[in-house]
Chains A and B, each alone.
Chain A
C-alpha cells in the first residue's frame, strides 16, 4: 500500500528529536492503550497485518499530526468494528458514558 506511512526518504520532516531519560510510557492512557492492544491481539481476533492495514488507512494529515499510541487507538477501534466485535453505536454509547462521568 502506497500511503503516508511509507516515510522512507521523504523530505521536510524536520530534525530527529530524542528525549533524554525517556520513560516507557508518557501518560496513563498510553499504558492502557498498549495493554488493550496486546491483550486483544493475544485473543486472536485480528492479526498484525490487519492491524497495520488499519493504521495505513488513516487520513494522511491525521496520521502525521497524531502520536503513535493515537494511531493504535484509531486502528484498534477500527479493526474491532470490522471484525464485528462491536458496532459504531456501541462505541458512541461508551463515549457518551465516559463524557457523562467526568
Chain B
C-alpha cells in the first residue's frame, strides 16, 4: 500500500523466530511444553537407528523382508516406527544388479520415522539438482563405486510417498547378531549414498 510504513523484520534470524514464537504463544496456538517435547523427540528418539533396526531385521528374517518389500508401512510399524512423514512407505532393495538412490528434487521429503530429520545436504540445491541428472557422479563423490553393469535407479519423492533403501548386507557378516548388523546400517546407506558397512 502506498505510503504505508512497513517495519522490517529483525536481521537476526533467531530474533525473528523468537518473535513468531511469542506471538503464537500469546494467541494460544502453541504451548511451550509441547514445543519442548517435540524437539526432544526428534533429537533423541527418532533417527536412523530406527531404520537400522528395520534393515537388520530384514537381513536376518526372510519372512519379515518379504513383508517389508510387499507392504512396507505396516511391516515398519511392527517394529514400532510410524507416524508423520512415514504414512505411505516404499522400500527399494539394493542388489548386485540394482543400486537405488533417494532424492526430493522439489523440497525435502524424507522418511522421518525410520531416518529422522534429513541432513542439510539432502535439502540443499546441489544434491537436489544433480541426483537426478548425474547420479553416478554424485555417488562417486560420496565414495560409492557403482559398476557400469549395475543399474542406478533414482527415486524422486512425491508429496505422499516416502522411500527408504534396503541396502545390501555386507559380505562376511553371516555370524553377526541382529544388533551388530544394525550398527553397520548408516543413514546414508538407507538414502543410497553409501553402502552398509562402508567406512
**Which residues of A line the B interface, CB within 8 A?**
5-11, 13-19, 22, 24-29, 31-36, 38-40, 43, 45, 48-49, 52, 55, 64, 67-68, 70, 73, 76-77, 80, 85-86, 88, 90-92, 94-99, 102
Contact = CB atoms under 8 A, between A and B. Distances in A.
A55 B159 CA distance: 14
Given A8-B133, A19-B120, A24-B42, A97 B19 contact: yes
B23 interface: yes
B185 to A, nearest CB: 17
Interface in B18-32: 18-24, 27, 29-31
B15 A16 contact: no
Given A36-B30, A39-B34, A98-B18, 10 more contacts: A7-B128, A8-B133, A24-B42, A29-B17, A29-B18, A39-B38, A64-B125, A88-B6, A91-B23, A98-B19
Contacts of B42: 24, 34
B15 A31 contact: no
B196 to A, nearest CB: 17
Contacts of B80: none
B21 to A, nearest CB: 6
A96 B133 CA distance: 46
Contacts of B23: 86, 90-91, 94
A10 B19 CA distance: 36
Given A52-B107, A68-B123, A16 B13 contact: no
B107 A31 contact: no
Contact of B29 (A10, A34, A40, A99): A40
Contacts of A26: 120
A17 B38 contact: no
B138 interface: yes
Given A17-B124, A49-B159, A55-B107, A31 B39 contact: yes
B159 to A, nearest CB: 7
Nearest to B127: A16
A18 B142 contact: yes
B22 A34 contact: no
Nearest to B35: A35
Contact of B30 (A5, A29, A39, A95): A39
A73 B24 contact: no
Given A9-B133, A33-B17, A73-B13, A38 B38 contact: yes
Contacts of A14: 125-126
Contact of A19 (B35, B36, B119): B119
Given A40-B30, A95-B9, A13 B108 contact: no
Contacts of B19: 91, 94-95, 97-98
24 contacts: A7-B106, A7-B128, A8-B106, A8-B131, A9-B105, A9-B129, A10-B125, A13-B128, A15-B141, A18-B142, A19-B121, A22-B120, A25-B43, A27-B14, A28-B14, A35-B38, A39-B30, A39-B35, A45-B29, A68-B124, A80-B29, A94-B20, A95-B10, A98-B22
